Structure 1
Amino acid sequence: MTRTPETPLPSPKECRRLREAQSLSQADVAAALGVTRATVRSWENGRTTPRGTNRDAYVRLLTGAEEVTPHQENPAPALVGAATGPVQTSPDRAEPAPEPPSGTPPASERAPKPDPELGPDPARAPKPDPELGPDPARGPKPALDPELSPEAELEPLSPSLTPDQAFDALYAFCAPALVRQTYLLTGRRELARESVERAFQLAWHRWPEVAMDRDPAGWVRATAYEFALSPWHRLRPRHRNPEPPPAAPADRALLDVLLQLPPVYRRTLLLYDGVGLDLPETAAETEASTPAAANRLLHAREAVATRLPELAEPKELHRRLAEVASAERLRAAKPTTVRWGGEQRARQWTRAAIAFTVVLIGATTLTLRTAPDHYEPPLAPGATVHGVPPRVAPGPLSAEELALRAKLKGETVSGPERLVPEAG
């Protein structure tokens, strides 16, 4: 049986340009195709690609062959099949699902049905709690806005903002919730604060790159998680001493279960059930495939449900994670302090690099001045020479020689005995 060739899909940047050329938002495209806005965002980021009927409808929509009514109802399929499965419609929607092209296998053979164990339906799932942080699929929001609806479209920051103001706005929006998330990830308050500060210091050091990123909050979150889960913290003396656990017994039990999970399982569970990412974005942030992320999530949920059966429901687990995170009054430093600390750290590393370079140049110069500049053959070891008479040295004078020397010294220099020889 031959398979129908897939419709050619433009590059992710071209898809975004075509969408913006038609004055469509990501929410409009998601509502028209029956997928989540996070899925459309993953398509434009290049993390995933649409397949099957979603791919055909997406290409027709970008090329202007299909009109879209803004803010129409989103049928919201399950998370697992949002990126690859067929379009599903809700019962109250008038138009039927598009028919698959001829030669295409049925939907039951083309993609498996979403597994309800992998996560709740986004249409019925609770909104991410503000204590655990914003949904990164929505993008950063103003610091004073407590919550955004799933379909809200964030306006980009004003270009009149200076880099300092833009960084402070991102920090004020993300840092408080990110500290709570990192505390759930590590169980250590000081390490959570330090991880968030280091992540934002690195973001300020690479601010042009972070400011141009499609998801600055996700960039900072991934950096903070990587620093918090680094195994080198075990060598620090402060890390060897345990910190006081939460006061509530239920919070202490949940935190103990989380800390007993492997770090990658703990991170996957926090991103999916705590922060509210969908499965493809969770897999991308944890640098794993989507099936691997789904298996990690399943095993993490099973481990939590084994110890705490009342948290077997994902909604209840999400609520309890938010409660544990909000119970600890973790305060983040001020953005000016973080920026100043990052600049000081950069200056110190720069000075250390300059000092190391000067020492290296001095050692190289000294080596060049003291090292030999020509070849010197090694000295042969000494050997005894036979057959040569020893050198004769004058020995002590005899009695006759001594008397003669005294006689010569006693006579006058100008005597006839010395100048004129006697006739014989």
Structure 2
Amino acid sequence: MQSQIILIVITCGLATVSVASGLDKGIRILSETNLALAVVLLLFVLIVGPTVFLFQTFVQNTGAYLSDIVNKTFNLYAYEPTDWIGGWTLFYWGWWIAWSPFVGLFIARISRGRTIREFVTGVLLVPAGFTLFWMTVFGDTAIHMILVDNVQDLAQVVEADSSLALFAFLEKLPWSGVLSIVAIVMVAVFFVTSADSGALVVDLLASGGQDRTPVWQRIFWSLLMGAVAIALLLADGLTALQTATIASALPFSIILLLSLWGLFKALRLDATKRGIRYQSLTLSRPARGGQSWERRLRNMVMMPRRAHVQRFIADVVRPAFEDVADELRKQGYAVEVRESEGDGGVILEVSHGEHLDFSYAVQPQAFVRPSLTPDEAADEEERKYFRAEVHLREGGQDYDIMGWSRDAVIGDILDQYERHRHYLHMVRG
């Protein structure tokens, strides 16, 4: 037990340093380092192992998984009762459902700004494909050793103590000592990244979802998690906690189903609002933002810097927002014009009480400047330019209003507000 406490203290200490440095530094560096070690170990086993056999089994294993996924999902062995499904399938289903709040919040935090397509690809498809390949490389290499190379002692070690399986497997490969060190480091970093991501999620929950929390607060939650783990270990309460965690999966699965219903409802509403964009509504915006073609071309070629966009927002956009806000207040609406946090943008918000509020924001958005002329191609320095992009409540609209007149900006606000009011009408109908 003493050695376990020492391991908890070391893991908690490293996790505290990681979570204190922030998401983009410590946590990201450790996660990328761990992924790099895993890929190196995977490629080494693939190369020194039965490579052709592994590629064949990967294709066959993937096909078998996809063809049996429906049958395996719904098969509860009602006609052939067995304890295996409870000790393996249902156990791990419950385990991961119970962990889904923590994992889901962490993935949502690091995926902010991604589209649904990017999210599904990066969170579901890529990890699932990597897991299939990882299991094939390590599992089928061991199977090949036992069945073809007749390494029977490997099977005996795994059967006696599964915790030694990886190291017993690595002993059969070249440079086993180095590989064991890499595996130990990889497992240790896995524990650290699990601890620091858990502390980050707890910190997010305790702070009401704020992105920037005090360092002492993140350190507090990380140390508290380590202290609770040690207390449970000394009180022999880990087993009871694991049982309670898995038992909580059943009621939480109902919450997940409700969340899925809410997601599909939100997607339906979003599709309705996107469809309204293409409907024939009265357009008040002057063509091309009221610019002459010479000025429009000049803006395209010059590619403004952040200072240019911020000056445009201060001199044109914000006064346009104030004009619209003053007129709406005369009509009895509660309107707020404020600066967005950290990016120099400005937001116009119209409150609609129990209905969905209207939000129109203009924010400086950075892009890498393309090399379109020989002189630009010769300049190897990567330069950025900025666009004054429009953002609504549902996200960025992918168009730039840099250089528009005040009247043109007001016209665009009214266009978007008209669509929003029509959307509210469609949703109520």
Which interval holds the TM-score relative to the shorter structure?
under 0.3
Q: Which has the higher strand share?
A: 2
Whichever structure has more helix as a proportion of its residues is 2
Larger relative contact order (C-alpha < 8 A, sep ≥ 6)?
2
TM-score in terms of structure 1 length: 0.24
What is the TM-score with the length of structure 2 in the denominator?
A: 0.24
